Structure 1
Amino acid sequence: MVKLVLMHKADSIYDDQPDQVYDFPRQYLKAMNEAVGDWIVYYEPVKAGQRGYFALAVIDRIDPNPVVPGRYLARIRPGSFLEMDRHVPRLIEGRPMEAALTAPDGSPLSGGLAQSAVRRITEGDFARIVNLGLPQRLEDIEATRYDPRPFDMAEGAQTFECPVVERLLRRSYRDVAFRRKVRDAYDYRCAISGLRLRNGGGRPEVQAAHIRPVEHQGSDSVRNGLALSGTLHWMFDRGLISVADDHSILVSRNKVPADVVDRLLSPGGRLIPPRDPRDAPHPENLRWHRENVFGQIATGDLAW
């Protein structure tokens, strides 16, 4: 197996969905087959500034593209996709993050491999990118974000140096990374009520909800998340509310009293979008929620 960097462009002719599938031409088939079962790093160059390395995933298998001859689809292993807490630039202090793109004098190489959409990457470079984009202490960073000394942190406690891949698979770590990305994407505002609430210590009350749950093969992509208040998160998970393709809010009217709707939903009745359109909920995730969760709970299980 081998680790790869995969170039992704939002406006590409290739039909990529980074948390599900990567579309690529035949010339990269050998390298992609070598990477099956191993981790890849997504990289996106942006004209108005480098987005850089922005996410990680594991390739599950390679299938021929059934629509376009000569192209292939790398299927992403369910539950493996994880976005970086912060994007890692291609260059740091003028030096590339990838050894293969570095000249003997440390300067970046241009053309050739640097323009390749699929590149092999060393274990060391992979670990360095991960540690910059998803810090080892991310859980402690989040825990002390609004309280510099949480009561359960022992005096002089040291963070155990967890191996990179083990950290990427740990559910508690992934939950923190997902929560930080989703709440930031929506500027700590509930996407359904429009409220931005903080407690006395400045801690945001908004939560991060998976649209398609992880246990049902939902990913930890921001596009599978919504920033919601606690009550609306509860209602969304139980199918009392959902979101249409046009981002209007759907309500199970026979189960939710009208006065509750009036108090909790934004006046326009539409989902409040994230700051970056690229983070908007993926239509397939919204469709899954409507078809599998919305309206499913029995009325007798509710009490208002």
Structure 2
Amino acid sequence: MAKLVLLHKADSIYEDEPDVVYDFPRAYLKAVEEAVGDWIVYYEPIKAGPRGYFAVAKIERVIPKPGVEGRFLAMIEPGSFLPFDREVPRLVEGRPMEASLTEPDGTPKKGGAVQLAVRRLPEADFARIVDFGLPQELERIEATRYDPHPAELAEGAERFERPVLERLTRRPYRDVAFRRKVRAAYGYRCAMSGLMLRNGGGRPEVQAAHIRPVESQGSDSVRNGLALSGTLHWMFDRGLISVADDCETILVSHNKVPGDVVGRLLAPDGKLVSPEDARNAPHPENLRWHRENVFGRAMPDDPAPWG
């Protein structure tokens, strides 16, 4: 196995969905096959945007791309994709994050490996990039964000000295990372009510909902998330509300949700609030999955929050 850096451009001819599949030409087949079962880091080139290194994922298998000669698909292991809490710059104090892109005097190389869409990544470079993008102390950072001395930290938050791979696979850590990215993507505003509520201490009341749950092979991509108030999160998870195939019209199970509740909780125009960066908009396939598998199902036994 081998770790890799995979170049990703949103407007490329290659049909990538970073949390699902990576599309690449035959020239990189050997390198990608060596990475099956191991972790990769996604990288946005300078001409495509400012993000630098922006996420990690794990390659599950490689298959030929159906109907396209000379192209292959690296299938991403479900549940492995995780965006960085803070995007990692290409250079730190003038030095590249990757040893292979660094001249002996520490300056950046030009051409050659810099232009490769797939690059092998030494373990030390991988750990350095992940430590920068997903800090070991992320749970503590979040727990003390609005209260420097919380009565209780999230379970395990005080034990943040964890190996990189343990961090990437530990559900409580991933939940914190997902929540921070989704809420920030929507400016801490509920995507269905349009409201931005904060408690007395300044803590945002909005939550992060998975559109397709992790236990149903949903990812921790921001595109599989919605920032929702507590009540709307409850309704969304129980299939009382969803989003239409236009990716913006809010659907309501009217035979289960009183009309006055709809009027109080949802935005007047019945439309989903868009995230600040269009690249973070909910993926149509995730919304389709929710409509087909969750929306309109039988009401659970637990009482509705509106009484």
TM-score in terms of structure 2 length: 0.95
Query: Which residue in 1 is equivalent to 2:188?
Result: 188
Whether the aligned pair in 2 keeps the contact of 1:190 and 1:206 (CA below 8 Å) is yes
When structure 1 is superposed on structure 2, of 45-54 and 74-83 the one drifting more is 45-54
3-state SS in 1 of match to 2:55: strand
Task: Count residues with an aligned counterpart.
Answer: 301
Q: Gapped runs of 5+ residues in structure 1?
A: none
Q: Is the CA contact 1:50–1:90 (under 8 Å) kept in the aligned structure 2? A: no
Identity across the alignment (%): 75
CA distance in 2: counterparts of 1:176 and 1:19, whole angstroms: 18
Residue 288 of structure 1 aligns with an amino acid whose one-letter code is W
1:68: how far off?
1.1
1-structure distance, mates of 2:301, 2:44: 49
Q: Is contact 1:255-1:299 (8 Å) kept?
A: no
Deviation at 1:85, TM superposition (A): 0.1
| Partner SS state of residue 24, structure 2 | strand
The residue number in structure 1 matching 2:177 is 177
Structure 2 unmatched ranges of 5 or more: none
Could you tell me how far 1:93 is from its partner in structure 2? 1.2
1:134 corresponds in structure 2 to: 134
Aligned to 1:255: 256
2:139–2:160 CA contact under 8 A, matched in 1: no
C-alpha distance in 1 between matches for 2:160 and 2:226: 31
- Give the C-alpha shift of residue 160 in structure 1: 4.5
Q: Could you tell me which amino acid in structure 2 is paired with residue 180 of structure 1?
A: R
Q: What's 2:296 paired with?
A: 295
Q: Deviations over 1:81-119 (max 9, x none)?
A: 000000001111111000001011111111111000000
Report whether the alignment pairs 1:106 with 2:106.
yes
- 3-state SS in 1 of match to 2:19: coil
Question: Matched residue of 2:150: which SS?
Answer: coil
Runs of 4+ in 1 over 6 A off after TM superposition: none
- Give the equivalent residue in structure 2 for 1:34: 34
Offset of 1:263 from its aligned partner?
A: 0.5
Q: Does 1:284 align with 2:285?
A: yes
For the aligned residue pairs, the C-alpha RMSD in angstroms reads 1.5
Q: Deviations over 1:194-236 (max 9, x none)?
A: 0000000000000000000000000000000000000000000
Counterpart for residue 229 of structure 1: 229
TM-score (norm 1): 0.96
Indicate the larger mover: 244-253 or 6-15: 244-253
User: Does the CA contact (< 8 Å) of 1:210 and 1:226 recur in 2?
Assistant: yes
User: Superposition pairs for residues 210-221 of structure 1, below 5 Å?
Assistant: 210-221=210-221
- Conserved in 2, the CA contact under 8 Å of 1:84 and 1:134? yes
Q: Secondary structure in 2 aligned to 1:27? A: helix
8 A contact 2:58–2:76 mirrored in 1 = yes
